[in-house]
Structure 1
Amino acid sequence: MPPKLDRAQVVDTALRLLDETGLDGLTLRRIATELDVKAPALYWHFANKQALLDEMATEMLRRMTGGPITPPASWQEALTATCRTLRGALLGYRDGAKVFSGTRLTDQGHTEGQHVMLAAFTRAGFELADAVQAYTTGYAYTIGFVIEEQAVHPRPGERAPGYDPEQRAAGIDPAHELAAAAGRDLFGDYERRFERGLAVVVAGVERVLGPETAANP
């Protein structure tokens, strides 16, 4: 018997349920219930949960990169715009960064954007290997930052238990005053912290990987 639903329906439902259940609560059984089918029907399309997560991440990227790609004016613009866009897309889903992290993309739709960004580096004189290092450093920074951000704020306006700076400070030994005072910076103002961290990444790329540095190690 042919399946009664297609892959797109399953993925769309999974992404919608993600906001309700979080990644840990998102199971093939829960998705099947939402679609009013038996769980084995999903195995027509996805062998296991990881295969579904791969397709979910790919669909997230499709939605993030839809439309024509405008070549950036500089490698700095390419890197910062990519990281900002990725963060914004991941924050659109509960546990979005966890879903995206470590997944294998299921089509080649991302390669045009990847080529455009790497070309911005190579035009500026970067070796391809250094351009890849710069890109993956920015990518890893963004994914890691958003994983931590979503641990504190699973959804916009929501703060997870245990991350209130004042409560945290009250439970820390007074002798460790710097650790106690750090709570406000550790668990607040994520927009500012992301931008400052991104500036650090860009400056580090220029200092360590930039063409002038490579020519004069």
Structure 2
Amino acid sequence: MAQKGLARDTVVRAALELLDEVGLDGLSVRRLAARLGVQNPALYWHFRNKQELLDEMARELLAPEMGGPGEGESWREWLTRRAHRYRRTLLSHRDGARLVTASDPGASVAWGFEEELRTLVGLGFTPGQGLHAIGSISHYTLGFVLNEQARRERRERGEARDLDAYADLPLTVAGVREVGAPTSEEAFAHGLRLILDGVAASLRAR
């Protein structure tokens, strides 16, 4: 049958390419089928509904494993590297953060998380401390990128305001001039350091 000949990974890659073009709101099974030159039922052979397609797209996005700490790398250096890599992954596709929040990437990603917890336990964390550490950093990164990508969309639509538009908020303007935009690379790194300082404090308290 024709639908059997359409490989699942081909569909997912095409869906991610379409996501970059039209965004999450514009992504539909109909548009994806048209892109692939097939009828809608050919896609439903692989995915029962759009949600299953989104889940598979998120799984593809998150599939590359982080791996453990490198030679001589501390837990703090490792978690810093992990957070920056996660941010780059989410930014690698339009609406990448929204895609992840709207999806369940499944068991393979969950097992990767389990291995990361195992690594932190081996470095002196309790399972709960490891869960809080990775969870807090992941949620911070996801929220940061959600805001970052939303601001980018507004800029592309010409809806973003420049700094002069905030003249009636002098402290806000002064703060931005001092440390940069709240969605900058430096802002992300600063927030991450604050979280890691808290993780280190909780370890010392134990």
Report the TM-score when normalising by structure 2: 0.85
Aligned to 1:6: 7
Higher fraction of helix: 2
The counterpart of 1:199, out of the listed 193, 197, 204, is: 193
Q: Give the superposition deviation at 1:71.
A: 3.3
Q: Distance in 1 between matches of 2:165 and 2:123?
A: 46
Distance (Å, rounded) in 2 between the aligned partners of 1:146 and 1:162: 19
Deviations 1:178-216 (A, max 9, x none): 356566668456111111111011011222x31x313xx
Counterpart residue type for residue 123 of structure 2: A
* 2:31 counterpart residue number: 30
Counterpart of 1:178 in structure 2 is 171
CA contact (8 A) 1:83 1:138 kept: yes
With over 3 angstroms needed to count, the CA separation of the structure-2 counterparts of 1:25 and 1:88, relative to structure 1, is same
For the aligned residues, what is the CA RMSD? 2.6
Alignment correspondent of 1:47: 48
Given that residues 2 and 42 in structure 2 are in contact (C-alpha distance below 8 angstroms), is that contact kept between their aligned partners in structure 1?
A: no
Residues 1:152 and 1:109: Cα distance change in structure 2 (over 3 Å): closer
- Write out aligned runs for 1:135-146 (5 A): 135-146=134-145
1:213 aligns with 2:205: yes
Amino acid paired to 1:165: D
Whole-Å Cα distance in 2 between the matches of residues 162 and 180 of structure 1?
19
Measured in 2, the distance between the counterparts of 1:168 and 1:186 equals 16
Q: Which residue of 1 aligns with 2:87?
A: 87
TM-score normalised per structure 1: 0.81
1:61-210 to 2 correspondence within 5 Å? 61-62=62-63, 64-65=64-65, 69-72=67-70, 73-108=73-108, 111-112=111-112, 114-154=113-153, 159-166=156-163, 168-169=165-166, 174=168, 176-179=169-172, 187=181, 190-207=184-201, 209-210=202-203
Alpha carbons 1:57, 1:100 under 8 Å: kept: yes
- Cα distance, 1:145–1:99 mapped onto 2, change above 3 Å: same
Give the Cα separation in 2 of the matches to 1:76 and 1:116: 17
**SS of the counterpart of 1:23?**
helix
| Alpha-carbon separation, structure 2, partners of 1:168 and 1:141 | 28
Task: Give distance in 1, aligned partners of 2:104 and 2:183.
Answer: 31
Number of aligned residues? 202
Amino acid at match of 2:89: A
Deviations 1:89-135 (A, max 9, x none): 111101111111242123425624x3443234213322101110111
Contact 1:79/1:117 (CA < 8 Å) preserved in 2? no
Offset of 1:78 from its aligned partner? 2.6
SS of match in other structure, 2:103: coil
Unaligned stretches of 5+ residues in structure 1: none
Cα distance between partner residues in 1 of 2:74 and 2:114: 14
Following the alignment from structure 1 to structure 2, what is the Cα–Cα distance between the partners of residues 162 and 27?
25
The gaps in structure 2 that reach 5 residues or longer are none
Structure 1: which 4+ aligned runs deviate by more than 6 Å?
183-186
Aligned-residue sequence identity (percent) comes to: 37
* Conserved 8 A contact 1:138-1:198: yes
C-alpha change, 1:160 and 1:213, in structure 2 (3 Å) is: farther
